[in-house]
Amino acid sequence: MDQGKIPRQQIVADGHADGSAVTRRQCGRGGGEFAALADRFLGAGTPVAAICGATFGLARAGLLDERRHTSAAPGYLAASGYRGEAFYEDARATVDDERLLITAGPDAPVQFAGATLEALGLFDATVREAYEGVFADADADAYPALMQAAAAA
């Protein structure tokens, strides 16, 4: 297989919820191993970030049933059989109340990255706003604000 191509099966990190002993292995089509790992991480207080199709896997496993989340569209997740409609937010990226679950739809990679970095404590809201201004909105005026905010953080 060409090293530059992603295999048909998902590659996920496996290890302990504290981040130790992480190895890489393939996860089967059903995504059950991915969801089990995400459940274990969330239960241990370790953040989980899911974008695009990964949100469907979490929904199918019931991990979005009682947490604030977003995705491509409510109907997309409904097809998974989940029961978390009341917690769905129409937003580019969402961080749950415990700051453990970060979700985004397929059209929001910049917002997803910003939300993830903020949830991990690597950005504050000011840096995130400037980051999204530069990389999502192509706002040249946001670049100096990003540099200033990053220097102050």
Q: Is 52 a catalytic residue?
A: yes
Q: How confident is the model at residue 139 (pLDDT cuts 50, 70, 90)?
A: very high
Query: Is the pLDDT reported for residue 49 higher than 70?
Result: yes
Q: What is the pTM of this model?
A: 0.80
Query: Is the pLDDT reported for residue 11 higher than 50?
Result: no
Q: How confident is the model at residue 29 (pLDDT cuts 50, 70, 90)?
A: low
The CA distance from 42 to 47, in Å, is 6
Please say whether the beta carbons of 41 and 17 come within 8 A: yes
pLDDT of residue 32: 79
Q: Tell me the pLDDT of the chain averaged across its residues.
A: 83
| Domains of the chain as residue ranges with CATH | 10-122 (3.40.50.880)
pLDDT of residue 27: 46
Write the CA distances from 91 to 51, 74, 108, 147, integer angstroms.
12, 11, 9, 26
pLDDT average, residue stretch 65-73? 97
> Which residue in the list 12, 36, 37, 52 is annotated as catalytic?
52
Q: Higher-confidence residue: 145 or 86? A: 86
pLDDT average, residue stretch 76-93? 96
Of 112, 31, 35, 34, nearest to 69 by C-alpha is 112
3-state SS of 54-111 is: HHHHHHHCCCCCCCCECCCCHHHHHCCCCCCHHHECCCCEEECCCCCEEEECCCCHHH
Using one digit for the tens of pLDDT, what is the confidence trace for 111-130?
999 999 999 988 889 899 99
Query: What are the CB-based long-range contacts (under 8 Å, 24+) for 129-132?
Result: none
